[in-house]
Amino acid sequence: MIRDSRGVAGSHSSVLRRANSIEIFHAIRLHSGISQREIGDRTGIDKSTISAIIKQFDDLGLLRREPGEVRKGRGRPSEGFVLNSDAGLMLGIDIDPERLVVMSAGLDGEPLHVSEHSPIRSEADFGDGVAGAVAAHLAAAGHSLEQVRSVGACLPGLVDRSGRLISSSNFRWGSLDVAGELSTRLGQPVWVDNDARGAGLAERLFGCCVDVYDYVFIDSHSGVGGALYLEGAIYAGSLGIAGEIGHTKIVPHGRICQCGDGGCLSAYISGPALRDSFRGSGLVAGSFVEMKAMADEGVEGALGVLDEAGEILGLALSNFINLLNPPNIVIGGGLAVLAPHLMPPAERVLRRHALPEALEHCTILISELSQKPHSRGPLAVALQGLSQLNGDGPFPW
């Protein structure tokens, strides 16, 4: 697919170079052995820019060159590019209130080793706790920190452009410089983002949106989060905290959310909110999987709770469709697990409240990636950091 460059047109030259380097890196990652000409065909980036960026990746040792296939006609066979599997590792760190997960992968983003660790109990334990988990993870896998080329970390809460956690209703910590703290502990730059935006980015890099350049992502775990992937890039907003879909207002003077305000989407379809609704129907369900199992068995109370939750979801989706006119919406996290029971009532509401023309041109996708046991979001953040040749990192741009 040719890239729509509207999202970077007119941008500062460094922003454009960064966007181009990301596109080229992922073209090589997804199409191993691709030639320079084929990169141009797929990305729409001009030949001289591709040559310059490939040289940068070469200098960093990220690529290998391989002889291309012999083609009919005159001329030499095209040279192909593949990621250098010996160039090092990436680390993804998922910082959740209930557990800490560390995942290592090659430069292609495919997980090699995953380990779970005790959750971080307090802000004071943050740096030592994460560094200790990383050390234990690498030791168990027979690797060292010197092999790591990029580190990505995700956690719930408001995370600004610098990688600082502004606030989190899940952790209830104060402002914390996550990127600075972890960079100091690990001895290299660490890329940090909100967990839902990381999961949304993972859909673009590994999931159902590999060839999609515009989509809204929504998921549910301890809260409801989202990501706006618009015109080829995550839209982060002026501060870097855009995509807080869970705090859009759905019911005036409604249920109190963890954020302290009332009527938020998160207060109705987050994991804790749905558990409370099940409990109110005399049912105990500790996870989205258990909720789905009850509904699959036809338990009346479970079906009633999920029908109402689906209507709430449909109302939220209609707002997104009417506001942004996205060509795609991706349903992830616990919402993807419950999709068989949430989407029929959501679609009823969509037909009532979404603009018909906008709804007709919007495809709703159910994520398979985010239903896996561990989020690929932190690895997606690490991979994006590795590929963007950002001057703030170990790269020349």
Contact present, 381 and 375 (Cβ < 8 Å) = no
- CA pair distance 22, 14, nearest whole angstrom: 12
Contact present, 316 and 265 (Cβ < 8 Å) = yes
List the domains of the chain with CATH numbers: 5-83 (1.10.10.10), 89-195+375-387 (3.30.420.40), 208-367 (3.30.420.40)
pLDDT in 10s for each residue of the chain, 397 residues: 334 433 444 445 666 777 888 889 889 999 999 999 999 999 999 999 999 999 989 888 889 998 865 444 444 557 899 998 888 999 999 999 889 999 999 988 899 999 999 999 899 999 999 999 999 999 999 999 999 999 999 999 999 999 999 998 888 788 999 999 999 999 998 999 999 999 999 999 999 999 898 999 999 998 999 999 998 889 999 999 999 999 999 999 999 998 889 999 999 999 999 999 999 999 999 999 999 999 999 999 999 999 999 999 999 999 999 999 999 999 999 999 999 999 999 999 999 999 999 999 999 999 999 888 899 999 999 998 888 754 444 333 3
CA–CA distances in Å: residue 159 to residues 162, 342, 357: 8, 29, 35
Contact present, 367 and 331 (Cβ < 8 Å) = yes
* Residues whose CB falls within 8 Å of the CB of residue 196, separated by 6 or more in sequence, listed in order: 156, 217, 219, 225, 226, 227, 243, 245, 333, 377
Contact present, 341 and 306 (Cβ < 8 Å) = yes
Sheet holding 224-230, edge to edge: 233-234, 224-230, 215-220, 328-331, 363-366
State residue 173's pLDDT score. 86
- CA pair distance 246, 270, nearest whole angstrom: 8
Q: What is the DSSP string of 195-264?
A: HHHHHHHHHHHTSTTTT-S-EEEEEESSSEEEEEEETTEE--TTTS----GGGSB-STT-PBPTTS-BSB
State residue 69's pLDDT score. 59
- CA pair distance 205, 12, nearest whole angstrom: 24
State residue 70's pLDDT score. 47
